[in-house]
A and B are shown apart, each in its own frame.
Chain A
């Protein structure tokens, strides 16, 4: 999990860091 921390976060966030 540590290895893919950001991907995990992006996948779990319902709101994306990207301003869509």
Chain B
């Protein structure tokens, strides 16, 4: 009977993990800004030199504002993704907000690899594919180049949509974010998500070290996200009026001081 109990428990847990995988994958697909079919139909057209120069000749303020708008649009979809993850809405609202403030941009960076052309080193932005030089007017070449490096390296792993979905959920449900009220509950959710990710990687017969590679990506994502905040702070010092009057309110809530 002891064996029965053990096997029932492990079966229940497998069923639970399968259920979580399905929910997270479905949520990811439902809340991706561009669906699989749309991606296939996309012309993957790059900006021509003249267009690149137009972006480069924009003022720093205008280019920052444009990027803030695009990031905010992407983040709204990430909020919807979070809401549909099993257990997220059961967290207290403080913790929901803490997780989104800390993790939503990181999920946008993960999702970026769906809209990234590795060969051209270009990302879908404002209607066409843009290389790092399109973003020169922002005045943060180092951060842009790191974001592109990250996208290149994530793309090289060729993650499936299921794997991307669970990796995104794993990042979003990080239990070590500051100011969480109920760390334990978030930790439980994250552990379940990690099991689901492991399970999917096994099912997809992925190489042994992939989970370790993804864990390393978590620290890269944190560094990108905090560097974005630093760049924004520096920008605000000079252009506080532009930020106050022209930046999307949600962007300010997420990244403002």
Contact = CB atoms under 8 A, between A and B. Distances in A.
B79 interface: yes
B108 to A, nearest CB: 14
Contacts, number: 39
Interface of B is mostly: helix
Contacts of A16: 76, 79-80, 83
Interface string B94-127: 0011001100000000000000000000000000
Nearest to A6: B250
A12 B80 CA distance: 11
Nearest to A18: B76
Given A17-B76, A18-B76, A20-B31, A8 B93 contact: yes
B97 A4 contact: yes
Nearest to B100: A7
Nearest to A13: B83
B254 interface: yes
A5 B83 CA distance: 17
A11 B89 CA distance: 8
22 contacts: A3-B253, A4-B97, A4-B253, A5-B253, A6-B250, A7-B79, A7-B97, A7-B253, A8-B97, A10-B76, A10-B250, A11-B79, A11-B89, A11-B93, A16-B76, A16-B79, A16-B80, A18-B31, A18-B76, A18-B80, A20-B30, A20-B77
Interface of B: 30-31, 76-77, 79-80, 83, 89, 93, 96-97, 100-101, 249-250, 253-254
